[in-house]
């Protein structure tokens, strides 16, 4: 992906770095920092420090995320899973989009300007409840099998068609 982007850029450099460490940029060197579905996984205080250091005045922080239907099948299954985890006293974890929004809110709190959310792409997917649950069994946040079995018992038997979009949220740094 970086090679494709590098071939399309018209000016400036492209830096790939471990965002959880000090960034290899001098202060004010960057005009844009883009994170695709990753910033919510990192330490927010560190990101704010590095973003405000590395971006020049007027620079942009852009977070890309998949936005799903709030009442879609995947969201309903996720919410049921979180409820069952909470009932067992297990922290169900937060929503990645909410954590990304908190990062942007922190930057606005430092004087940044929130820009309107832009949609880069829209598409339709067929969500298979069995596949969603199978993915939870094999990756991501560990979930007890008994919880996933209860989610599966309540899941509809057939896949559902859902709309998704790739949203870009941004803040301009003062």
**114-148 pLDDT, tens per residue?**
999 999 999 999 999 999 999 988 876 678 899 99
> Is the confidence at residue 157, as pLDDT, over 70?
yes
What's the gap between Cα 132 and its chain centre? 18
pTM: 0.80
What is the C-alpha separation between 101 and 12, in angstroms, rounded? 27
**64-112 pLDDT, tens per residue?**
999 999 999 999 999 999 999 999 888 777 666 677 889 999 999 999 9
What's the gap between Cα 63 and its chain centre? 7
Tally of domains within the chain: 1
What is the C-alpha separation between 39 and 46, in angstroms, rounded? 11
pLDDT number for residue 5: 59
Half-sphere exposure of 55 (CA within 13 A, CB side): 22
Q: Print the domain residue range for 120.
A: 2-172
- How large a percentage of the chain has pLDDT more than 90? 66
- Contact predicate 77/136, CB 8 Å: no
146: domain CATH number is: 3.40.50
């Amino acid at each position: 992906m970086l090679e494709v982007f590098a071939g399309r850029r018209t000016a400036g450099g492209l830096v790939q770095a471990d965002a959880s460490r000090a960034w290899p940029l001098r202060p004010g060197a960057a005009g844009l920092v883009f994170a695709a579905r990753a910033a919510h996984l990192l330490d927010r205080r560190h990101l704010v420090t590095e973003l405000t250091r590395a971006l020049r005045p007027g620079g942009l922080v852009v977070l890309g995320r998949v936005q799903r239907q709030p009442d879609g099948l995947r969201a309903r299954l996720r919410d049921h899973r979180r409820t069952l985890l909470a009932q067992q006293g297990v922290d169900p974890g937060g929503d990645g989009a909410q954590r990304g929004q908190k990062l942007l809110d922190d930057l606005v709190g430092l004087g940044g300007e929130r820009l309107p959310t832009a949609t880069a792409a829209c598409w339709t997917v067929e969500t298979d409840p069995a596949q969603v649950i199978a993915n939870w069994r094999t990756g991501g946040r560990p979930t007890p099998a008994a919880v996933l079995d209860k989610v599966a018992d309540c899941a509809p038997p057939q896949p559902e068609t859902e709309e998704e979009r790739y949203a870009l949220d941004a803040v301009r740094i003062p």
